[in-house]
Amino acid sequence: MHWWLPLKASTFAGPIDGLFIAILIITGIAFVVVEAGLIWFIVRYRRRPGRKAFYTHGNARAEVIWTAIPAVTMVALGVISNHYWVQIKGRNSIPPNAYPIAIHAKQFEWQITYPGPDGRLGTADDFTVRNQLHVPVGQPVVVHLSSEDVIHSFYVPQLRVRQDVVPGMDIKAWFQATVPGDYELACSQLCGMGHYKMRARVTVHTQADFDAWMKQAAQAGTGGTGS
Amino acid sequence: MHTAQPHKHPNYLLIWLYLFLLTVAELGLAFELPISRNMKLILLLFLAVWKALLVALFFMHLKFERWNLRILAIVPLPLAAILILAVITEHIW
Amino acid sequence: MTTAAAPHAAPHAGHAPMGFWRKYIFSTDHKIIGIQFLFVSLFFLLVGGFLAMQIRWQLGFPGRPMPGGGILPETMAPGGVILPEYYIQLVTMHGTFMVFFAIMPLLVGVFANFLIPLKLGAHDMAFPRINMWSFWTAFLAGMIMLAGFFVPDGAARAGWTSYAPLSARPDLSGASYGQMLWCISLVCLGLSSILGSLNYITTVINNRAPGMTWFRMPLSVWALFITAILGLLALPVLSGAAIMLLFDQTIGTHFFDPAAGGQALLWQHLFWFFGHPEVYILILPAMGMVSDIIANGSRKPIFGYHSMVFAIVGIAFLGWMVWGHHMFVSGMNPTLGSTFMVSTLIIAVPSAIKVFNWMGTMWRGNLHFHVPMLNAVGFVAMFVIGGLSGIYMAATPLDMFIHDTYFIVAHIHYVLFGGSLFALFGAITYWYPKMFGRVMSERWGKIHFWLTLLFYNCTFFPMHIYGMGGAMRRIYDPTQYDFLRPYQPLNQFITISAFLLFATQLIFFVNFWWSLFKGKKAEQNPWHDNGLEWTLPSPAPHGNWERVPTVYRGPYEFSSPEVAEDYLPQTRKLPTDREPVLAPVAGA
Instruction: Answer yes or no: do A86 and A135 share one domain.
Output: no
Q: Which domain holds residue A111?
A: 96-220
Nearest residue, CB atoms, C559 vs list A37, A52, A158: A52
Chain B neighbors of C275, CB-CB under 8 A? none
The string of pLDDT tens digits covering residues C147-187 is 999 999 999 999 999 999 999 999 999 999 999 999 999 99
Architecture of the structural domain at C30-535? Up-down Bundle (1.20)
Nearest CA in chain C to A160: C401
Please report the pLDDT score of residue C6 as a whole number.
Answer: 37
Average pLDDT on C462-486 reads 97
Of residues B73 and C194, more confidently modeled: C194
Strands (E), A72-206: 99-106, 109-114, 127-130, 132-136, 140-147, 152-156, 161-165, 171-176, 181-187, 199-205
- Name residue A104's beta-bridge partners: A111, A146
Chain B touched by C264 (CB under 8 Å): no
The answer to which of C39-53, C68-82, C372-386 has the lowest mean pLDDT is: C68-82
Look at residue B5 and tell me whether its pLDDT is greater than 70: no
Residue C94 near residue C412, CB atoms below 8 Å: no
Query: Are residues C465 and C457 in contact, defined by beta-carbon separation less than 8 angstroms?
Result: no
Q: In whole angstroms, what is the distance from residue C542 CA to residue C433 CA?
A: 15
Question: Which B residues 62-91 touch C at CB under 8 Å?
Answer: 76, 79, 82-83, 86-87, 89-91
Residue C45 has pLDDT above 90, yes or no: yes
Percentage of chain A lying above the pLDDT 90 cut: 85
Tell me: do A62 and A29 sit in the same domain.
yes
Contact C397 A190 (CB under 8 A): no
pTM as predicted: 0.93
| Whether C266 and B83 lie within 8 Å, measured CB to CB | no
Judged by a CB distance cut-off of 8 A, whether residue C447 touches chain B is: no
Q: Greatest CA separation found in chain A?
A: 90
Give chain C's mean pLDDT.
94
DSSP C330-384: TT--HHHHHHHHHHHHHHHHHHHHHHHHHHHHHTT--B---HHHHHHHHHHHHHH
Residue A100 and residue A198 in one domain: yes
Mean pLDDT of all residues in A127-149: 96
Residues of A in contact with C82 (CB under 8 A): none
Closest Cα in chain C, distance from residue A117 (Å)? 30
- Say whether pLDDT at C411 is over 90: yes
Contacts of A85 in chain C (CB under 8 A): 334, 337-338, 341, 396-397
For position C538, what pLDDT does the model report?
Answer: 92
- In a mutational test of the C interface, the residue from B2, B82, B83, B88 whose CB has the highest number of chain C CBs within 10 Å is B83
Distance from CA of C9 to the nearest CA of A (A): 38
Same domain? A195 vs A101: yes
Residues A174 and A117 in one domain: yes
What are the helix (H) ranges across C148-258?
A: 170-173, 177-206, 219-250
CB < 8 Å to C365, chain A: 41, 45, 53-54
B contacts of C586 (beta carbons < 8 Å): 1
- What's the CA gap between C3 and C331, in Å, rounded? 57
Q: Is the pLDDT of residue C387 over 50?
A: yes
Chain A residues close to C404, C-beta within 8 Å: 153, 155, 162, 188-189
Is the same domain home to A84 and A105? no
The pLDDT, as a whole number, for residue C201 is 96
Neighbours of chain C (3+ CB pairs under 8 A): A, B
Residue B90's pLDDT is: 79
CB pairs under 8 A between A and C: 288
Contacts of A191 in chain C (CB under 8 A): 166
Interface of C with B in 477-506 (CB under 8 A): none
Query: Would A35 be classed as within a structural domain?
Result: yes
Q: Residues C357-380: pLDDT tens digits?
A: 999 999 999 999 999 999 999 999
Q: How confident is the model at residue C583 (pLDDT cuts 50, 70, 90)?
A: low
Q: Coil, strand or helix: which one is A135? A: strand
**Would the CB atoms of B93 and C263 count as touching at under 8 Å?**
no
From C320, which residue of chain B is nearest by alpha-carbon distance? B79
3-state secondary structure of B66: coil
- Would you state the pLDDT for residue C369? 97
Query: Residue A211's closest CA among A121, A105, A137?
Result: A137
**A84 and A160 co-located in one domain:** no
- Residues C478/C484/C489/C495 CA torsion (nearest 10 deg): -40
- The answer to whether A146 faces chain C, any CB pair under 8 Å, is no
Average pLDDT over residues A88-93: 86
Q: Report pLDDT digits (tens) over C221-258.
A: 999 999 999 999 999 999 999 999 999 999 999 999 99
How far from each other are the two terminal CA atoms of chain A, in whole angstroms? 39
Question: CB neighbours (10 Å) of residue A139?
Answer: 16
CB contact under 8 A, C269 and B89: no
CATH classification of the domain holding A160: 2.60.40.420
CB–CB contact C298 A38 (8 Å): no
Residue type, C580: P
Q: Is the peptide bond before C165 cis (omega within 30 degrees of 0)?
A: yes
The average confidence (pLDDT) of chain A is 93
Classify residue A34: in a domain, yes or no: yes
For residue A103, the 8-state DSSP code is: E
Chains that touch A (3 or more CB pairs under 8 A): C
Chains near B with 3+ CB pairs less than 8 A apart are C
Residue A52 lies in a domain: no
B1, B86, B93 member nearest C586 (Cβ): B1
Residue A1 confidence class, pLDDT cut points 50, 70, 90: confident
ipTM: 0.94
| CB of A88 less than 8 A from some CB of C | yes
Question: Which stretch of DSSP H or E encloses residue A18?
Answer: helix A13-44
* Pair C75, A193: CB distance under 8 Å: no
Task: Classify residue C252 by burial, with Cβ atoms within 10 Å: 0-12, 13-18, 19+.
Answer: exposed
User: From the CA of C140, how many Å to the nearest CA of chain B?
Assistant: 26
Residue C352 burial by Cβ neighbours in a 10 Å radius (0-12, 13-18, 19+): buried
Domain tally, chain A: 2
pLDDT attached to residue C28: 92
Inter-chain CB proximity C333 and B87 less than 8 Å: no
